[in-house]
Amino acid sequence: MAHIDYQVLREGELEIVVTGRLDTETTGRFWSQVVRKITETRPELLIVEASGVEYCDGAGVALLLRLKHTQEENGRQIQIKGLQSQFEQLMALFDPGRIEKTEQKNTSLTSFVEDTGQVTFRLLQDFKSQVSFIGELSVKLWHALIHPGNLRWRDTFLIAEKSGANAVGITALLGFLIGLILAFQSAVAMRKFGAEIFAADLVTISLFRELGPLLTAFVLASRSGSAFAAELGTMKVNEEIDALTTMGLDPVGFLVVPRVIAAVFVTPLLTMFNNFFGLIGCGLVMTSIGFAPVAVLNQIREAAYLGDLFGGLVKTLVFGTLIAGIGCLRGLQTGTGASAVGDSATRAVVSSIVAIVMADGVFAVGYYFLGI
């Protein structure tokens, strides 16, 4: 156990008598008390009577150093008396002196303007890197199209399997549930007008034109886009990307092109699964509220045209390119450190989803003018 006593010797002189073991536990209890006492009394001379200190570990030394620095910073005196030489040596060894904390960010107007400028600059730089990446990717994709022999087909198929075949279950489930929910909700609303059968039309058209492609793209972005970013990000952190570059292999051609081709290939297929299971969900609801299966089937067949289906599928080609391209770009942009890969994966998903919705808007306008 340690003990501490205070004694005002005369005006401006304070003596602290420390006895016992100054270890992490006891120092923790004394620390605030001692520091408060010093700041309150502001002694010109502080005498620490330490001949009774039996043991002193890092925390004890820290306390003594803190007293020393507090006194010295305020131009006051300190005397540490009777401290065993081994502990004195520890003090000398550990004393870091005065370390300036790196300056805190000031919150003035200048810093606000500076921050705004920096954020804008970063956004513009990010935009620039995206544009140059799109250009590079287009060149490499074109190259792969005219020289298909140079493409790494094995990798492409593996990636297609991972992001396509393995995603069939989740896409189908999601489509089924959305078809089910949409049909049920709209049938309830349409009952007021006696138009329940048209719920089938609603579900079919919205699935084919919008929901199918969008939902599939979201699944792909969160499943595969993030995986691409994490995979390429880890490769970046492990210097594998650098190794590829110095071996004369272009990272975009080697890693990005197979992923983009695989994604473009699987997105329409997944969308078809999504649509199909959505219609099954819809049919289930319609038959359960009393329509004959044949009636529902006829209604679905007459509701949608081929234009609706293919209009939706064409969109998915663009979505697939966006997801894989953005995922890979974010992966290649990964910084250093353990959190960098996680950040890249997050940014990949967020950017992909924003890009998908924006592209969908462009398609909506385009299709309107084309009359599709």
Partner 1 sequence: MDANTEPIIRVEDLTVAYGNNVVLEDVNFEVRPGEIFVILGGSGCGKSTLLKHMISLQEPVKGRILIDGKDVVTAEGFELLEIFRRIGVMYQHGALFGSMNLLENVCLVLEEFTSLPRAAMETIALMKLNIVGLADSAYKMPSELSGGMKKRAAIARAMALDPKILFLDEPSAGLDPITSAQVDELILKLSRNLKMTFVIVTHELPSIFTVADRVIMLDKNAKTIIAAGTPDELRDKSDNPWVRRFFNRQADDGMSE
Q: What is the binding site for partner 1 (CB under 8 A)?
A: 24-25, 27-28, 31-32, 35, 57-59, 61-63, 65-66, 89-90, 93-97, 99, 101-102, 336-339
- Coil, helix or strand for 333? coil
Would you say 205 or 237 has its CB closer to partner 1? 237
Would you say 27 or 344 has its CB closer to partner 1? 27
Work out how close the CB of 24 gets to partner 1 at its nearest, in angstroms, rounded to a whole number.
Answer: 5
Task: Fill in the amino acid letter for 344.
Answer: S
Determine phi and psi for 98, rounding to 5 degrees: -100, 120
Residue the block writes with tokens 């790196």: 102
As a whole number of angstroms, the distance between CA 48 and CA 71 comes to 12
Would you say 29 or 81 has its CB closer to partner 1? 29
Would you say 36 or 128 has its CB closer to partner 1? 36
Work out how close the CB of 343 gets to partner 1 at its nearest, in angstroms, rounded to a whole number.
Answer: 11
Work out how close the CB of 37 gets to partner 1 at its nearest, in angstroms, rounded to a whole number.
Answer: 14
Work out how close the CB of 227 gets to partner 1 at its nearest, in angstroms, rounded to a whole number.
Answer: 22
As a whole number of angstroms, the distance between CA 169 and CA 167 comes to 6
Q: Smallest Cα–Cα separation from 224: which of 133, 322, 131, 291? A: 322
- Coil, helix or strand for 238? coil
Beta strands 2-10 and 13-22 are: antiparallel
Work out how close the CB of 121 gets to partner 1 at its nearest, in angstroms, rounded to a whole number.
Answer: 21
Question: To 5 degrees, how large is the angle CA 202–CA 203–CA 206?
Answer: 80
As a whole number of angstroms, the distance between CA 300 and CA 309 comes to 12
Would you say 1 or 99 has its CB closer to partner 1? 99
As a whole number of angstroms, the distance between CA 211 and CA 178 comes to 9
Work out how close the CB of 96 gets to partner 1 at its nearest, in angstroms, rounded to a whole number.
Answer: 4
Would you say 32 or 110 has its CB closer to partner 1? 32
Contact criterion met (CB below 8 Å) for 247 and 349: no
Q: Distance of CA 183 to CAs 8, 285, 287, 296, 333, Å? A: 85, 6, 11, 12, 43
Q: Smallest Cα–Cα separation from 140: which of 256, 47, 304, 2? A: 256
Would you say 84 or 206 has its CB closer to partner 1? 84
Would you say 293 or 337 has its CB closer to partner 1? 337
Work out how close the CB of 364 gets to partner 1 at its nearest, in angstroms, rounded to a whole number.
Answer: 42
Work out how close the CB of 80 gets to partner 1 at its nearest, in angstroms, rounded to a whole number.
Answer: 16
How many residues belong to the chain? 372
Would you say 29 or 301 has its CB closer to partner 1? 29
Work out how close the CB of 95 gets to partner 1 at its nearest, in angstroms, rounded to a whole number.
Answer: 7
DSSP letter, residue 101: P
Q: Smallest Cα–Cα separation from 261: which of 133, 148, 127, 129? A: 148
For residue 33, the surrounding DSSP H or E stretch is helix 24-41
Other beta carbons within 10 Å of 248:
6
